[in-house]
Amino acid sequence: MEAYINGIGITSPQKTVEQDGFLSNVVEYSSDYMKCVEPAFKNYLSPGFSRRMSRILKLSLVAAKICLNEVKIEKPDAIITATGLGCLDDTEKVLNSILENNESFLSPTSFIHSTHNTISSQIAIYLKCHSYNLTFSHRTFSFESAILNCMIFLTENSNVNVLIGGVDEITPTLFDIGCKSIYKKIPKSNLDMLKEKTRGAYAGEGMAFFILSSKKKNNCYAKISSVETIYNPDDVYSVELKIKNTIDRTGLTIENIDAVMLGLNGDSESDCYYQAIMNSLFKDKILLYYKHLCGEYFTSTSFALWCCANIIKQQFVPPILKMNNNQDKPINNILIYNQFKNKNHSLILLQKC
């Protein structure tokens, strides 16, 4: 099973809409968390259509629209969205209303838009698209589940194009609550993420959409050859074994992997899980990281996928992504590896095509 990335649209804490160069003008943060650089919504969405929409919906629709425009597709053959926490802003409004007003005066719009599948459905309504439509919501497996489901869809149907997206938002409330467990404030600069050895990750958000197709089109970025999720591994060796198997299945070997994009997030308690594998399997690879640019959120591998697809297409690695100084060479095969709480490990293998 494989899928060709023929189009991408992304809103993120970096300048990824109407971008001028690939991460040439990096946005630096020294605030609590990273927030999406917002486009002028009225350039993409009519005020009438978007008047009820929360931020996450508008940002997602813009990203989806940009993606579809790139491939000049009006209606995809399927829409599959991934979101770890769904439409938080609307969820908070409903909760606050119920608690503060003793279950009265609840806004119907906020409730309607609080369900996780709102993003997928609103895209379908916007496009008047009646095709296959799904939403996955499982922590850091959400986006990878969507990719796997997409690959199954591409296998079951011939010559089709699927719109797939990874979407999660950050709100002040989520950040405050998250600081008790997984987040920390950005003390100086997001770009210093790996220098601090403290507990907690920088929080972020992003909405990335891709057209994945059965066939390669003219401006194809790369192909996804394999996707794997590893749940609750017994130890680091079982993770290593799964990584090797995932690569083997595509006919490649570890030696063929040119670069590895890692989900390090600056949390000393979490990043240690990458160390063993970095020192064994990935010792001689070009090592990359991305969460200093977008922050930690459940579907952040969609931002990583945007980075890697562009690296392969442009055969250029922006210096800001590099962790080590391994010599530059042609980048034909990239492995994205992310993990959450040592319980949810995921892999996406990307190849030049």
Partner 1 sequence: MQERVFVTGIGAITGIGKNTVEIFNSLLSEQSGIRSISFLDTIHKDEIPICEVKAMNDELHELAKTSLKSSFTRTALLGMIAAKEALTNSCIQNLSEKRTGLISATTVGGMDKTEQHFKDYINGNKYNDFVCSHDSGDSTEKIADYLGIKDYVSTLSTACSASANAIIFGTQLIKHGILDRAIVGGTDALTKFTLNGFNTLLILTKEKCRPFDQNRSGLALGEGAGYLVLESKKSIEDDNKNIICEITGYGNACDAFHQTATSPNGYGPYLAMQKAIEMSGLNSNQIQYINAHGTGTPNNDLTEGKAIERIFSRNIPYISSTKGYTGHLLAAAGSVEAIISCLTIKKNIIFPNLNFKEPMKDLSFSPTNRIINNVEVENIMSNSIGFGGNNSSLIFSRC
Partner 2 sequence: MEKLIVELKQNIVKNLNLEEVSWQDIETDAPLFVEGLGLDSIDALELIVMLEMNYGIKIESSETGKRILYSVKTMAETIIANKQDT
What CA–CA distances, in Å, run from 100 to 93, 173, 285, 300? 10, 16, 54, 33
Q: Is 301 in the site for partner 1 (CB under 8 A)?
A: no
Window 51-90: residues binding partner 2 (CB under 8 A): 51-52
CB 105 → partner 2: shortest distance, Å?
Answer: 4
Q: Is 341 in the site for partner 2 (CB under 8 A)?
A: no
- 226-255: burial string, b at 16+ Cβ within 10 Å, e else: bbbbbeebeebeebbebbeebbeeeebebe
Window 62-91: residues binding partner 1 (CB under 8 A): 79, 84-86
Q: Is 165 in the site for partner 1 (CB under 8 A)?
A: no
In degrees to the nearest 10, what's the CA dihedral of 66, 336, 23, 20? -30
CB 153 → partner 1: shortest distance, Å?
Answer: 8
CB 127 → partner 2: shortest distance, Å?
Answer: 19
Q: Is 346 in the site for partner 1 (CB under 8 A)?
A: no
Angle, helix 55-71 to helix 118-127, in steps of 10 degrees: 50
* Alpha helix ranges (H) inside the chain: 47-50, 55-71, 88-100, 108-112, 118-127, 142-156, 172-178, 236-248, 268-279, 291-294, 301-314
Q: x/- binding map, residues 87-116, to partner 2, per CB under 8 A? A: -----------------xxxxxx--x----
Candidate list 121, 326, 332, 342; residue touching partner 1; CB under 8 A: 121
# binding residues, partner 1 (CB under 8 A) = 59
Site for partner 1, rule CB under 8 A = 1, 79, 84-86, 94-95, 98-99, 102-104, 106-108, 111-118, 120-122, 124-125, 127-139, 141-142, 145, 148-149, 152, 155-156, 173, 176-177, 180-181, 229, 231-232, 298, 343
